[in-house]
Amino acid sequence: MTVTIENDKIVALSNITGDGDSQNVSYIRRASEGTSKIKGVSAQILETGTLENIDTVSRATCSSKAILEACRNALDAAKVTQ
């Protein structure tokens, strides 16, 4: 996953993929993009620019949490290099 950060805020997410079983692709897509009724984790993060109060996507909870963790790691790494 590629996370773009500007002024301590996440402004873009791309290349969201997993390294596990190919069956996980649908869960990763669901977590990232959401469904017709549930907003995806990526959209929520980009709307706020932060990881505060982001809801995981049901039936893709682990993938949602993995995206959030990757974003948290990217934010932490950005603070270290500044």
Residue 63 is predicted with a pLDDT of 94
Report the chain (82 residues): mean pLDDT per 10 consecutive residues.
93 89 87 94 94 94 95 91 60
Residue 82 is predicted with a pLDDT of 54
79 residue type, one letter: K
Q: Provide the domain count of the chain.
A: 1
> Contact at 8 Å (CB) between 77 and 10?
no
Residue 22 is predicted with a pLDDT of 77
* 63: containing domain: 2-81
CA distance 23 to 44: 24
CA-wise closest residue to 67 among 22, 7, 8, 10: 10
